[in-house]
């Protein structure tokens, strides 16, 4: 420990106020704002999902639960346990239960406390993970040990961290924008190839046709299993695919697939999957997701949330896939969603989607161009994603040095 520094329990140098148990039945659409766990986002307070209350609904004096501008709060339960936030607005909030507020004593600089707490998030999550419901108690928080230099040294460290993190945040913003630009580049090219302007009489080449999807591919919406329960999954056997297998790029990945018995597989309706089949999710949150079946490692079938699309001879699988991946197609998917509780895309609608159809030679040329651009943009995405990861690691390294007394 650096000379002049002490190790203190957080409770020795900071007061802590737990939240009040507001009753959900008293929530209002206007009034005094309640600060809940869900409002602690990205080290600040998100006001998009605020709820409100009126003092007439409570007999208690709630003044001690107020969160003023500059106050520092922490989530004490749930998946975001240990996350901290600062009230950067002039709004006065009221602490809900399982949200805590820190009030540093004179020997502790508030910004120094903030930076210290940001190093404790991962530890807080580990502590909280021991219970069925992640939970961090007031006692655990107040027992955190904080390395405490004299107040002038705290202020000096805060100044160094402020300057370093401002530069890091600027670099992160640039990397995030570059990452976004790399993704948009490919999507914009897809739109250029398959979008409305290409389909217009002026934009479409004379030799190209516009066909409905049902004319260039067979679809089967009745292949999927309904009512298959988790207890029917087996250790080995034919694969049973769901939307989770469409999360890994252009091709279906089988690592998230379940297995069913051969007997159950033999009962599968109508069609078995083949290489180069296209799967599209037609139900739920993953609606519109796509994947191409690569070489099958085993027999496979799909659940009822997926639709199988099998190309006819006039269209290349990858060409049709890029059609369906385009912003133009995805916008049509979003416009035709129906179902109040669970979004649903009907097979009868999918087969009417317009597909721009050049010759197979031209299809192959377009696929080659798109594959090349996709590879280049994915390289860029990898570079910028690594940059973001490295910047986060740099922040952690600087914080570690700060609280070890190693900042020059």
At residue 178, φ and ψ (nearest 5 deg) are -65, -40
Q: How far is 271 from 373, CA to CA, in rounded Å?
A: 34
* Beta strand residue intervals within 263-382, DSSP E: 278-281, 290-292, 300-302, 306-311, 354-357
So what's the pLDDT on residue 395? 93
> Contact, 115 vs 158, CB < 8 A?
yes
Residues 6+ apart with CB under 8 A from 317: 276, 278, 292, 311
Q: How far is 333 from 374, CA to CA, in rounded Å?
A: 22
Specify which residues 99 forms β-bridges with. Answer: 75
Domains and CATH numbers, the chain: 6-148 (3.90.220.20), 209-357 (3.90.220.20)
| Core vs surface per residue 77-102: b (16+ CB within 10 A) or e | beebbbbbbbbeeeeebbbbbbbbbb
pLDDT, one tens digit for every residue, the chain (408 residues):
678 899 999 999 999 999 999 999 999 999 999 999 999 988 889 988 899 999 999 999 999 999 999 999 999 988 888 899 999 999 999 999 999 999 999 999 999 999 999 988 777 767 666 556 778 889 989 999 999 999 999 999 999 999 999 999 999 999 999 999 998 999 898 888 887 766 555 555 667 888 999 999 988 755 444 556 667 788 888 888 888 888 878 898 888 888 888 887 777 655 578 899 999 988 877 888 999 999 877 777 787 788 889 999 999 999 999 999 998 888 888 776 665 567 788 888 888 888 889 999 999 999 999 999 999 999 999 999 999 999 999 999 999 999 998 887
**What's the DSSP call for residue 56?**
G
Residues 6+ apart with CB under 8 A from 283: 304, 305, 342, 343, 344, 345
So what's the pLDDT on residue 391? 96
Residue 146 structure tokens: 């904080």
So what's the pLDDT on residue 204? 55
C-alpha dist (Å) from residue 54 to 18, 39, 60, 224: 20, 19, 12, 51
Bridge-based pairing of strands 354-357 and 209-212 is antiparallel
Q: Which of 220, 246, 218, 211 is nearest to 310 (CA)?
A: 218
């Amino acid at each position: 420990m650096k000379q002049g520094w002490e190790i203190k329990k957080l409770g020795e140098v900071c007061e802590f106020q737990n939240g009040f148990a507001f009753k959900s039945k008293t929530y209002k659409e206007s009034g005094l704002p309640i600060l809940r766990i869900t409002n602690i986002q990205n080290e600040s307070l998100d006001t998009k999902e605020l709820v409100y209350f009126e003092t007439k609904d409570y007999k208690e004096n709630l003044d001690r639960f107020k969160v003023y501008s500059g106050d520092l709060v922490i989530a004490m339960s749930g998946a975001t346990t240990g996350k901290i936030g600062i009230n950067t607005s002039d709004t006065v909030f009221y602490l809900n239960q399982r949200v805590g507020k820190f009030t540093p004593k004179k020997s502790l600089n508030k910004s120094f406390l903030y930076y210290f707490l940001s190093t404790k998030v991962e530890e807080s999550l580990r502590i909280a993970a021991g219970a069925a419901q992640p939970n961090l108690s007031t006692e655990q928080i107040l027992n955190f040990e904080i390395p405490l230099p004299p107040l002038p040294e705290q202020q000096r460290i805060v100044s160094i961290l402020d300057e370093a993190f401002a530069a890091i945040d600027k670099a992160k913003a640039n990397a995030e924008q570059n990452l976004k630009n790399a993704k948009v580049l490919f999507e914009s090219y897809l739109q250029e190839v398959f979008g409305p302007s290409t389909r217009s009489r002026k934009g479409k080449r004379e030799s190209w046709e516009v066909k409905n999807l049902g004319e260039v591919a067979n679809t089967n919406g009745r292949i999927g299993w309904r009512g298959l329960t988790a207890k029917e999954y087996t250790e080995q056997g034919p694969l049973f695919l769901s939307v989770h297998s469409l999360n890994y790029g252009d091709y279906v990945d089988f690592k998230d697939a379940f297995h069913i018995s051969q007997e159950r597989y033999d009962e599968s309706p109508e069609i078995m999957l083949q290489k180069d089949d296209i799967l599209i999710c037609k139900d739920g949150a993953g609606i519109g997701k796509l994947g191409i079946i690569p070489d099958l490692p085993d027999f496979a079938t799909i659940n009822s949330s997926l639709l199988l699309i099998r190309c006819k001879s006039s269209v290349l699988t990858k060409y049709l896939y890029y059609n369906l991946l385009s912003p133009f197609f995805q916008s049509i998917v979003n416009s035709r969603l129906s179902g109040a509780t669970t979004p649903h895309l009907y097979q009868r609608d999918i087969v009417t989607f317009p597909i721009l159809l050049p010759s197979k030679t031209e299809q192959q040329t377009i696929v080659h161009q798109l594959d090349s651009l996709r590879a280049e943009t994915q390289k860029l995405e990898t570079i910028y994603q690594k940059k973001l990861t490295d910047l986060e690691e740099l922040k952690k390294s600087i914080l570690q040095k700060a609280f070890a007394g190693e900042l020059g």
